Amino acid sequence: MRTIAWPLLILCSLASCNPFPGPRKVDLKKEWAKSGFHLKTLAQQILQDPAKFQFGNNEFPDDFEYPFDDGFFLNYGSRHSSTENIQQQTVTIKFYTDRGLLDHYSAIIFTNNPIDIGEFESNVANGGNDYKLEEGWYAIND
């Protein structure tokens, strides 16, 4: 009886471990109410001085207050855009709350890109957990 108990105990403990944790449960409307001012300020800094930030994933500045450490994704309109002519181009910034696996994520998003606005407006119209927070700002669970 004793020799059966150890393997059974080990098997049960391993079966209860999940190496891939589930998605964070975040109320994006509450996060917007709490962090919206800081996110708007950072978005303005990005628009005013785009050379400080790179296309793609970025870490938050050290003095930035945001409860999630997943960083943000910056898209200047296309992969071939240069930061010198950013003023004429569209920008999309995804402030992640959960990056998830593969292409799934939750984020508060700023965009002035008409294509992205159309996609986000469609998501909002379909209902679910996607919301328009204000002009150019969305809470998206994709």
Does 14 map to a domain? no
71 close to 96: Cβ distance less than 8 angstroms: yes
Does 5 map to a domain? no
- pLDDT category at 4 given cuts 50, 70, 90 is low
C-alpha to C-alpha distance for 19 and 25, rounded to whole angstroms: 18
Does 106 map to a domain? yes
Does 129 map to a domain? yes
Supply the range of the domain harboring residue 83.
24-141
Q: Over 90: is that where the pLDDT of 92 sits?
A: yes
Does 13 map to a domain? no
pTM here is 0.74
**How many domains in the chain?**
1
User: E strands of the chain, at which residues?
Assistant: 56-58, 72-75, 92-98, 106-111, 131-134, 137-141
Does 12 map to a domain? no
Per-residue pLDDT reduced to its tens digit, 23-82:
556 778 888 999 899 999 999 998 888 888 888 999 888 888 777 877 899 988 654 445
